[in-house]
Amino acid sequence: MSAAAIPFDQRDGWIWYDGEFVAWRDAKLHVLSHGLHYGSAVFEGERAYGGEIFKSRQHAERLIASASMLDFEIPFTVEQVIAAKQATLEKNNLVDAYIRPIAWRGSEAMGVAAQGNSIHLAIAVWQWPSYFDPEQRLKGLRLDLAEYRRPDPATIPCKAKAAGLYMICTISKHRAENKGFADAMMLDYRGYVAECTGANIFFVKDGVIHTPTPDCFLNGITRQTVIELAKREGIEVVERHIKPEELATFTECFVTGTAAEVTPVGSIADWSFTPAAITHKLMDVYSAEVQPKKKAA
């Protein structure tokens, strides 16, 4: 059985759990944990390249900020989280890997209110080469248009990477895959283009990149990195509200995320795109950016 086919609760290795390493299969929580019933959990998705976790500090800071938005405090500092992630990577003898820190409310009380519940933090790492099928990725993803929309920021903590906010993403991705698509693009509550179920989205027209303003969805760390890289390469980037009917005017499209990295899109519903110079350039410069930099002697 390939590693990818092994259920996640049956794998070998070590998970960092509340400050200690526990055997992978023993990293458990109670079925009445508040995080499971009420979605009071936050997490990060990160990648390590060559033994170094890309933008580890930014991810650690966002994890703690996300918890604060859900009204709980992770009992570890940014520095401790950074060190724990690196230690977990090394404990599992991995150099190229995916890193998943997650924090949640425990099981002391069951009900909506849980001010006194303990806060837990666990960190797991594993090999995860590509979020999308490699063949699909080369051709450009086929995306469906999701039924669910990203909610009004007055109704959710949209700047938090919170577990509960991904429920409609899972539903939308399942429905897309059931119809033969790789993923789905979501609109926001106003009907503007928002993001995919686990990645931010970009479009190209006349040599200029256009991307939705992240005012009701997560401003991804990979998204921020790609915008910086594009500007470094002299490519203009416009962040604005994008109407779905504008998709017919764009020539290229790609998505970004820690798991997705930079992935070309071939179509969204009935709109078609051709991965070309700008998409390929950003794939290349992003791949170069994430590699550990050689330190001068």
**Max CA distance (Å), the chain:** 57
pLDDT confidence tier of residue 296, bands split at 50, 70 and 90: very low
pLDDT number for residue 297 = 42
Q: Is 262 exposed, middle or buried (0-12, 13-18, 19+ CB in 10 A)?
A: buried
pLDDT number for residue 5 = 81
DSSP helix/strand/coil, 80? helix
pLDDT number for residue 132 = 64
pLDDT confidence tier of residue 3, bands split at 50, 70 and 90: low
User: Is the domain defined by 3-126 classed in CATH 3.20.20.70?
Assistant: no
Instruction: List, for residues 19-38, the tens digit of each pLDDT value.
Output: 999 999 999 999 999 999 99
167 pLDDT higher than 90: yes
pLDDT number for residue 128 = 82
The answer to whether 179 is a known catalytic residue is no
Instruction: List, for residues 39-86, the tens digit of each pLDDT value.
Output: 999 999 999 999 999 999 999 999 999 999 999 999 999 999 999 999
Residues with Cβ within 8 Å of residue 122, at least 6 apart in sequence: 15, 16, 17, 18, 27, 101, 102, 103
CATH, domain range 134-290: 3.20.10.10
Mean pLDDT, residues 243-252: 98
Q: Please pick, among 55, 161, 179, 243, the residue that the annotation labels catalytic.
A: 161
Domain boundaries, the chain: 3-126, 134-290
Mean pLDDT, residues 104-131: 93
C-alpha–C-alpha distance, residues 57 and 83, integer Å:
10
